Copies of this chain bind each other. A is one copy, B any other.
Amino acid sequence: MPAGVDTEASKVDVLIVGAGPAGLMCALALARAGVKVRIVDKRPQKVAAGQADGIQPRTTEVFKSYGLSDRLVKEGTQLHVAAFYNPSKNGGIELTDRVPDVAATDTNFPFEVTLHQGAIEAIFLDDMRDMGIEVSRPVIPTSIEVNTALVEDFGAYPCRLVLEYANSDQEEKRSEIVYAKYVVGADGAHSWVRKQIDIVMEGEQTDYVWGVVDLVPDTDLPDVRNKCAIHSNNGSCMIIPREGDKIRLYIQLDGKDVIDANGRVDKNKAGPEKILDVARKTLHPFTIKTPQSYDWWTIYIIGQRVAQRYSLYSRVFIAGDACHTHSPKAGQGMNASMQDSYNLAWKLVHVLKGTARRTLLQTYELERRQYALDLIAFDKKFAKLFSGKPYSELNLDGVSHAEFLQAFQTFGGFTSGLGVHYDQSIIINPKYQHLARNALVGQRLPPRPLLRAADCRPIDLHDLLVSDTRFKLLIFTGNTHNPSQMARVVDFASKLRAPGSFFAEFSSLEAMHSVFDIVSISSEKKETIMYNALPRILWSHWSKVLIDDIDMRGITGSGKVYQSLGIDTAGAIIVVRPDGYVAAIAPLDGVSHLTNYFAGFMKRYP
């Protein structure tokens, strides 16, 4: 490459291609951590309506960890009920059942949130704007090269991209060369990045064709504000309530009506009126009037595919729809995409800051590709059940309500995102699982009500698990009112500070709490606890000491954390990853175990 170009080229830690939910989550997470990031998108504007819109509980929890869940929950619609309609003996459909929309219970957000993708993207964009980051658009990358000689060099910029400004007026500024340490391709199902690095999608296209239409309904269906799964003898339909008075209808279509000779959807063959007409047959005897206008609509064939690999040299990554495509009915797409880049981002931060080795990055594909495979497997089962004919006296082989409901509830942990489990790896160490039986290593730590010792303010464990890229060391100190237990805690504190401990090695005295965040959770009672009686390292601030006791009113359900997580009076240490997953557990005298654990992927503090 000509020297002149190099001199003018810009450098960036991470270049993100694609500003959909996966790309924006990645940019937000990196920017919050102080990483120099750029994000480009080929679309001139962010999406204004339609697209993905279902936010699952685990995703809302992640929004909370960035302080963004209030806005999400306020702007969105909450789905608490899944209503099931099935063929009635009088013809048409009738209400069969109303059940919780989210089967999983152990979350502070036991509901789906629906909000159109543009509004969700706006939450990210507004937050990023406060940090001085904007999406560059419309920008089209035209080449990407990775200098293989540099891929293992800390500090190197091995990725070279050429970006074209699609509608720039100034002729000489139409393209730009950018050198990046890392590239994230979050550029959708037809990912350009994925094609450039020769990653193949594995899987197949299905026969399922669906029409989707967003509208404000005028209907007498009494469950129009609940999620509805409707099975009629005239077809299946799903209703998703949306922000304001809007709903989304998912209607199964007959392929022959809308597929062209090449097997692709021909949108000229059917529009929203056609989709609504099919819906009317399914909804009978309930009616729905033709609206003045439609907010958004589309028709698609479901593909079920997963990328063979997720990265090139752990320097170029793909995330989101670039990695996996599947049906939208279980509301997973946008969630899976954001969780991909949420998983990747903190790992990139630690490697970029020099606190972790590059091997950490391999766990991204390990964890997220397995998740995508599980998602496709689930999707296949669920799509089959949903698209099947309903059971009736005329169709004894059909799908019964009981069968469908059971599947709906069995898959609940998975669809909510709460049951996602990452396997044992360099960052997942289940050795001392028995010391905290119900804080499952490899799963996200559940929320729990607690009290702050200094002021008895009710606080949730999740309030502490903020996404600040620090590992959270939850020190369950046991009952520190007991002198012998306090002696153990004092001993733990001195071992934690001693030279050679992970805390001394992988952080620094000046920045003791920049890599690790220490939170003490005592089982001492609120009447006697003196937060400042603990060793000083266990209360970097008065707000960092919690107690497992009933709040002043007995209304929050606090006082059961030790019991519900299966921690006994001897205490335990739970290491929580920056993304909220339980990484390792140790006894109070197990600092050396934790030193071994962190030595597996961390580097001496730079």
Contacts and interface: CB of A to CB of B under 8 A. Distances in A.
Interface of A: 70, 77-81, 98-101, 105, 110-111, 220, 222, 224-226, 241, 245, 452, 454-458, 526-527, 530-533, 542, 551-553, 555
Among A80, A111, A226, A455, the most chain B Cβ lie within 10 Å of the Cβ of A455
Contact of A533 (B80, B99, B222, B245): B222
Given A81-B456, A455-B79, A527 B100 contact: no
A454 B225 contact: yes
A180 B100 CA distance: 56
A553 B457 contact: no
Given A80-B552, A110-B553, A552-B80, A531 B222 contact: yes
Given A222-B530, A527-B98, A552-B80, A241 B455 contact: yes
Nearest to A221: B532
A535 to B, nearest CB: 15
Among A70, A454, A456, A533, the most chain B Cβ lie within 10 Å of the Cβ of A456
A553 B81 contact: no
Contacts of A531: 222
A457 B542 CA distance: 37
- Which 3 A/B pairs are nearest by Cβ-Cβ distance? A225-B455, A222-B530, A225-B454
A586 B524 CA distance: 51
22 contacts: A70-B70, A78-B455, A80-B455, A80-B458, A80-B551, A80-B552, A81-B455, A81-B552, A98-B526, A98-B527, A99-B552, A100-B552, A110-B552, A111-B457, A220-B532, A222-B530, A222-B532, A225-B454, A225-B542, A226-B454, A226-B455, A226-B456
A9 B532 CA distance: 64
Contacts of A77: 455
Contacts of A226: 454-456
Nearest to A452: B225
A457 B80 contact: yes
A569 to B, nearest CB: 23
Among A457, A526, A552, the most chain B Cβ lie within 10 Å of the Cβ of A552
Given A80-B455, A456-B81, A105 B225 contact: no
A553 B103 CA distance: 10
B98 A456 contact: yes
Nearest to A99: B552
Given A530-B222, A542-B225, A78 B553 contact: no
A480 B553 CA distance: 35
Nearest to A554: B105
A208 B416 CA distance: 60
A144 to B, nearest CB: 43
Contacts of A224: 454, 542
Nearest to A533: B222
A241 B457 CA distance: 12
Nearest to A557: B555
A60 to B, nearest CB: 15
Contacts of A80: 455-458, 551-552
Contacts of A454: 222, 224-226
A455 B225 CA distance: 5
A224 B532 CA distance: 11
Contacts of A101: 552
A10 B79 CA distance: 51
A458 B110 CA distance: 11
A457 B78 contact: yes
A362 B80 CA distance: 47
A304 B77 CA distance: 51
Nearest to A525: B98
A224 B453 CA distance: 11
Contacts of A222: 454, 530-533
A99 B225 CA distance: 44
Nearest to A74: B70
Given A77-B455, A80-B551, A100-B552, 7 more contacts: A78-B455, A78-B457, A80-B455, A110-B553, A224-B454, A224-B542, A226-B455
